[in-house]
Chain A
C-alpha cells in the first residue's frame, strides 16, 4: 500500500506519541515504581531504605493468604451471579414481546449513575433499624428482629456482593444481548421449521453461539470485580473484622490509611501479578476465538 511504502516510516510512531506519553507517566512508570517501593520501608518519613523481601515476608505472616482466598471467593460469587443474571436478562430482553425497547432502556441506570451514589442508596437499604430490606424481610416473616446487614461478617460479605452484582449486571446483560442479536436469524428459523422448541433452540443454537461472548465477558468482569474498590469502601471499609477486606481494600488500608507505602506496594505488586495472570488468559482466549472464527469462515 502506497501510504506505507517507505522503508522506515516514523509517521505511525508520531501518531502514537500522545497516547504513549500519558500512559507511560500515569501507568507504566507507577507500575515500575510500585515494584521498587515494595522492596523498601517507604513511609511518611523522608528517607527510605532497601529492605529486601522483608515486606513480602511480613505480609505473608499476617494472614495474607486468607485475604487472597477471600478476594477470589468474593470475585467468584459476584461474577457468577452477574453472568447468570446477564444471560437470563439478555434472553428475556431478546424475546419479541411488546415493550422490550423500554425494558432495554430501563436496565442500564445502575451502571450509568456514579457508582458511589448508587452505593449510598444501598447503604440506606441495608440499615437495620429503618432500612427497606430488613423491613420487608420482617414483614414477610423471614426474620423476626431488625437485621443490621453490614454489622455481621457473613451478611456484610453477601451484601457487598449483592451491590456489586447490581452495579455490574446491566453491562453484562446489554453486552450479551448484543451478542444474541448478532446471531443470524436463518439459523433459528431453520431449526424452527424442523420443529425445534423455543427452549431447545436457546440451548442448542443461541447458547453455543454466544459462548465466546460469555467467556470474554466473564473474564473482563472478573478483572473489574477483582479491582472493585468504591463499593466495599463506602459500605464497610473492609469490615466488620476484615470480613470484606479484599486485596484492593487491604492495599488501600495499608498504604493510604496507615501510610506504610512499602508494605502497601508489596500488596499492590501481588495484585498486579494476579492481574497479569488474568490478562494472559484473556489474550489466549481472544486469540483462540479469533482463530476459530477464521477456521469457520
Chain B
C-alpha cells in the first residue's frame, strides 16, 4: 500500500506533529496552569510548572476584578454577529452580480474590491476617526461594526462568487423563462441553492470579525460598557500590577465560547479559509 509507513517513518511524523502542536498549544496550557496557581506561587523563582495549592479560586475572584466580563463577551459576540449580518447584505447581491452578469467595468471593479483587502484599518484610522465623529458614531457599537463589515466585504465577495460560479445557469434561465422577475429569481432560486456557500462565508466572516476587534474598539470607543473582550481585558492588562492568574482565568473563560463553536463548525471554518487553494 502507498500509505503504509515503516516504524521509523511513523515515529518521525508523530515527533514532527508533536513539536508543531507544542508550539501552537503550549500558550493555552500555560495560561490554564497559571490560572490555577495562587498569586504568591506566580512569583516563585525558579519557574515551576506545577506548584502547591493549585485551585480554581481565580475563577471566582476574577468576577470581582473584571466585573464586566460577561458584558465584554456579549459585546464581542454582538459586534461579530452584526459585522457578519451587514457584510452579508452587501456581499450576497454583489457576489451574484460578479458571478452572473456581464457589465462594463466588471473586472476592474472586482480587482478594486480585492485591492481593498490589502489595506488594513490601521492605515486609515485618521480619516476613519473623522468620519465616525462627523456621523456621530464615536462611542457606539456602530463605530466598531461598520469598519469591520467594510473590511470583510471583499473576501466575502470573492468566496461567494466562486461558489455561485459553480451553480448551473440553466436554473435561472428556466425561472426567467417562466416569467419570474430577477429579484425573485435571486431570492427564491439562487439563495436556497447557494445556502451552503453563504453559510461558509458567514462563518468565516464571523470568526475573522471576532478575532480582530482590537484596533477599532481601542480607537473609536471609550465607553467601557460597549468594549469587546480584547479591549476590556486590555485595560485590566494595563494596570501597574497585573493579577496574572485572574487575567488568564478571564481570558480562558472569554475564549471558551468561540473554541466550542469552532469544534462544532470546524468543517465549515476550514472550508471558508481554504477556498481557492484547491483547483477545481
Contact = CB atoms under 8 A, between A and B. Distances in A.
Interface of A: 1-4, 9, 11-16, 18-20, 22-23, 25-27, 29-31, 33-34, 37, 85, 88-89, 92-93, 95-97, 103-118, 120-125, 129-132, 134-136, 138-139, 146, 166, 169-171, 173-179, 181-182, 188-189, 192, 198, 213, 216-217, 223, 227, 229-230, 234, 248, 251-252, 255-256, 261, 264-265, 268, 271-272, 275-276, 278-279, 282-283, 293
A23 B47 contact: no
A16 B94 contact: yes
Given A88-B16, A97-B5, A114-B76, 9 more contacts: A2-B177, A15-B93, A26-B146, A37-B127, A95-B5, A116-B231, A121-B27, A124-B248, A189-B2
B268 interface: no
A16 B93 contact: yes
A9 B277 contact: no
Given A120-B251, A121-B248, A112 B207 contact: yes
Q: Please list the 7 inter-chain residue pairs (A to B) with the smallest Cβ-Cβ separation, ordered nearest first.
A: A135-B47, A116-B230, A26-B150, A227-B120, A178-B274, A30-B127, A182-B278
A80 to B, nearest CB: 16
B101 A11 contact: yes
Contact of B273 (A138, A174, A272): A174
B151 interface: yes
Interface of B: 2-3, 5, 9-10, 13-14, 16-17, 20-21, 23-28, 30-31, 34, 42-49, 76, 86, 89-91, 93-94, 96-97, 100-103, 106, 109, 111, 113-120, 122-128, 130-131, 146-147, 149-151, 153, 157, 169, 172-173, 176-177, 182, 207, 210-215, 219, 228-231, 233-234, 237, 244, 247-248, 251, 254-255, 258-259, 262-263, 266, 269-270, 273-274, 276-279
A283 B111 contact: yes
B66 to A, nearest CB: 13
Contacts of B91: 19
A118 B237 CA distance: 13
B135 to A, nearest CB: 9
Given A19-B91, A97-B5, A130 B123 contact: no
A279 B134 CA distance: 31
11 contacts: A3-B100, A3-B173, A22-B146, A29-B131, A31-B127, A88-B16, A95-B13, A107-B20, A114-B229, A139-B47, A275-B119
Contact of A18 (B31, B93, B109, B131): B93
Given A114-B211, A120-B233, A22 B149 contact: yes
Contacts of B212: 114-115, 230
Nearest to B153: A19
Contacts, number: 297
A170 B24 contact: yes
Contacts of A113: 211, 255, 258-259
A104 B113 CA distance: 32
B165 to A, nearest CB: 13
Contacts of A111: 211
B28 to A, nearest CB: 7
A295 to B, nearest CB: 13
Contacts of A22: 86, 90, 146, 149-150, 153
